[in-house]
Amino acid sequence: METTRDVALGIDTATGVQAALFRSAPIFRNIENHALADLAAISKAMTAAEGTILSRQGEPASHLLVLLDGRIALETLSAVAATTVVEIVPPGGHSMLSAVLGDVPALMTARAIQPSRLIGVDAAGLRGLLYREPSIAAALLRAEAAAFGALVRQVCDLKLRTTAQRLGCYLLELTDETAANTVALRLPFDKRLLAARLGCRQENLSRAFAALRRLGVETHGARVILHDIAGLRSYALCDC
Amino acid sequence: METTRDVALGIDTATGVQAALFRSAPIFRNIENHALADLAAISKAMTAAEGTILSRQGEPASHLLVLLDGRIALETLSAVAATTVVEIVPPGGHSMLSAVLGDVPALMTARAIQPSRLIGVDAAGLRGLLYREPSIAAALLRAEAAAFGALVRQVCDLKLRTTAQRLGCYLLELTDETAANTVALRLPFDKRLLAARLGCRQENLSRAFAALRRLGVETHGARVILHDIAGLRSYALCDC
């Protein structure tokens, strides 16, 4: 296995992604075996140190990025502030799909906010496969609709919910528990990033955590304990 | 030309869309002539009275809707409020693309807020053409990336800008003028809908209009006059 290192980017890449690796990413789950082999042939395994820029807004989107481990922040440059955090991609998620399929410049900057392990699928190669392999096309177009739906939900969230409600929904998304009385979580990134993701200032995030205390949300740094999931859910009125 | 009328929906449909009609919609602009004929064969011309629901969130997205005249509100149901206005589609715009390509239920409800004239392209037929006709695939995937980008910009807008800045950006989007000292606009829909689109309460919209007065924004009902476009632009810090 050949390994190269791009020192400037802090990305290690190894060619020869094993088809089995693709199965761990939901976006590739329903793709047929022979098509997975085609995908593997145009993909590379990547590791990225914290802080690495994986793709830059406005530049060609050279790869679909599928995150196996770590976290990626999707940010945009704006005339109002240095950057806006649009979304934080969790393990199993992906980014750059829309720009890759549409063959347009990257819509957001992707930055590893934790040491990350990824699959990078060559953009031009993927567009080629789209026409030849219906199971790949169906999977990608469904993934794009899901990503679109997530943005729609975020727009609604920002238009309708208070910061405390948005925080409540975000905390509930971090757990699969819906019935337990008590669940302990770890915030997967720092509160500065969490505030940016929720679209509020850090002091408002602190106020939001304080407001959720009466709903059984206990915090100790990055550790969060939810004592009343049902109560939090009916307060935050999540749609997810 | 056969004409049918669905009384419950208030939609008039006429089969046999002329290929030339497609040219007036930016989404179809770069599609080759022979492919336009294929598109026309799976499309119908539609007119919808104000208030008509064209597609309902959660139900199958049966058609790509391309708006020739009128306006469509894209709304979502939510646990927080009856509806959220995610976007208002202007003439030349489209809706349902993401759900149609991904073959998933409609992500939003599309409602005509003015008497509207549309082209409805059959969803299953369009997915079939996607694989057979590269110029259609390229046009649709580029359009989807553009729609994704518009949602990303709206998320940033909601996270970073004040209501008055968001209103300023929205007013500036209604004109192509960038240099003129004075430009007169008509709000294309009522202030209740404008407040919903901007994600604020109506009283906050009134305050935002009042805040913009010192930047030369004069309003008389639906008539708006911008007396200082450059000043408004540097206040609102639009990214578009």
For B54-97, the pLDDT digits (tens) are 999 999 999 999 999 999 999 998 777 778 999 999 999 999 99
User: Given this model, what pLDDT does residue A78 score?
Assistant: 78
Q: Is the pLDDT of residue A81 over 90?
A: no
Minimal Cα–Cα distance from A130 to chain B, Å? 8
Q: Is the pLDDT of residue A145 over 60?
A: yes
User: Given this model, what pLDDT does residue A82 score?
Assistant: 72
Contact residues, chain B, for A156 at CB < 8 Å: 76, 78, 80, 84, 86
CA gyration radius, chain B: 19
Q: Rounded CA gap, A7 and A210, in Å?
A: 43
* Distant-in-sequence contacts of B25-29, Cβ < 8 A, 24+ apart: B25/B66, B25/B67, B25/B68, B25/B92, B25/B94, B25/B119, B26/B92, B27/B66, B27/B94, B27/B97, B27/B139, B27/B140, B27/B143, B28/B66, B28/B139, B29/B139
**The two structure tokens encoding residue A43:** 């993909």
Q: Is the pLDDT of residue A42 over 70?
A: yes
Of the pLDDT bands very low, low, confident and very high (cuts 50, 70, 90), residue B219 is: very high
Minimal Cα–Cα distance from A10 to chain B, Å? 27
pLDDT tens-digit map of A127-138:
999 988 889 999
Half-sphere exposure of B31 (CA within 13 A, CB side): 30
Least Cα distance to A239 among B31, B24, B192, B78 occurs for B78
Question: Strand order of the sheet with strand B183-186?
Answer: B183-186, B223-226, B217-220
For a pLDDT cut of 70, what percent of chain A falls above it?
93
Q: Is the pLDDT of residue B240 over 60?
A: no
**The two structure tokens encoding residue A82:** 């240095």
Residue B77 CB contacts under 8 Å (≥ 6 apart), including other chains: B57, B58, B83, B109
Least Cα distance to B91 among B185, B170, B24 occurs for B24
CA gyration radius, chain A: 19
Return the minimum-mean-pLDDT range out of A56-60, A235-239, B35-39: A235-239
Contact A155, B158 (CB under 8 A): yes
User: Given this model, what pLDDT does residue A99 score?
Assistant: 98
Q: Is the pLDDT of residue B1 over 60?
A: no
Q: Is the pLDDT of residue A213 over 60?
A: yes
**The two structure tokens encoding residue A5:** 């290192």
Q: Is the pLDDT of residue A239 over 90?
A: no
Q: What is the mean pLDDT of chain B?
A: 90
Mutate to test the interface with B, among A57, A108, A130, A152 (most CBs of B within 10 A): A152
Q: What count of CB pairs under 8 Å joins A to B? A: 142
* Nearest chain B residue (CA) to A143: B102
Q: Which amino acid is at A142?
A: R
Cβ density class B185-224: b for 16+ within 10 Å, e for less = bebbbeeebbbbbbbbeeebbeebbebbeebbbebeeeeb
pLDDT tens-digit map of A159-209:
999 999 999 999 999 988 777 778 999 999 999 999 999 999 999 999 999
CB atoms closer than 10 angstroms to residue A51: 11
Of the pLDDT bands very low, low, confident and very high (cuts 50, 70, 90), residue B29 is: confident
ipTM: 0.90
Beta-carbon separation of A156 and B78 below 8 A: yes
One-character DSSP codes across A51-101: T-EEE-TTSB--EEEEEEES-EEEEE--SSSS-EEEEEEPTT-EESHHHHH
pTM for the model: 0.91
Q: Rounded CA gap, A69 and B171, in Å?
A: 43
Cβ density class B102-135: b for 16+ within 10 Å, e for less = bebebbbbbbbbbebbbbbbbbebbbebbeebeb
Of the pLDDT bands very low, low, confident and very high (cuts 50, 70, 90), residue A7 is: very low
Q: Rounded CA gap, B118 and B12, in Å?
A: 10
Q: Is the pLDDT of residue A9 over 80?
A: no
User: Given this model, what pLDDT does residue A22 score?
Assistant: 85
Burial of residue A22 (number of CB atoms within 10 Å: 0-12, 13-18, 19+):
buried
pLDDT tens-digit map of A44-63:
999 999 999 999 999 999 99
Give rounded-to-5 percent helix, strand, coil for chain A: 40, 25, 35
A85 or A175: which carries more pLDDT confidence? Answer: A85
Task: Classify strands B11-15 and B3-6 as parallel, antiparallel or unpaired.
Answer: antiparallel
Mutate to test the interface with B, among A160, A198, A237 (most CBs of B within 10 A): A160
User: Given this model, what pLDDT does residue A102 score?
Assistant: 96
Q: Rounded CA gap, B31 and B136, in Å?
A: 6
Of the pLDDT bands very low, low, confident and very high (cuts 50, 70, 90), residue B6 is: low
Q: What is the mean pLDDT of chain A?
A: 90
pLDDT tens-digit map of B94-127:
999 999 999 999 999 999 999 999 999 999 999 9
Of the pLDDT bands very low, low, confident and very high (cuts 50, 70, 90), residue B155 is: very high
Residue B19 CB contacts under 8 Å (≥ 6 apart), including other chains: B33, B36, B37, B39, B40
Torsion region of A186: left, alpha or beta (phi above 0 gives left; psi -120 to 50 gives alpha) = beta
Contact residues, chain A, for B85 at CB < 8 Å: 159
Contact B119, B66 (CB under 8 A): yes
Of the pLDDT bands very low, low, confident and very high (cuts 50, 70, 90), residue B205 is: very high
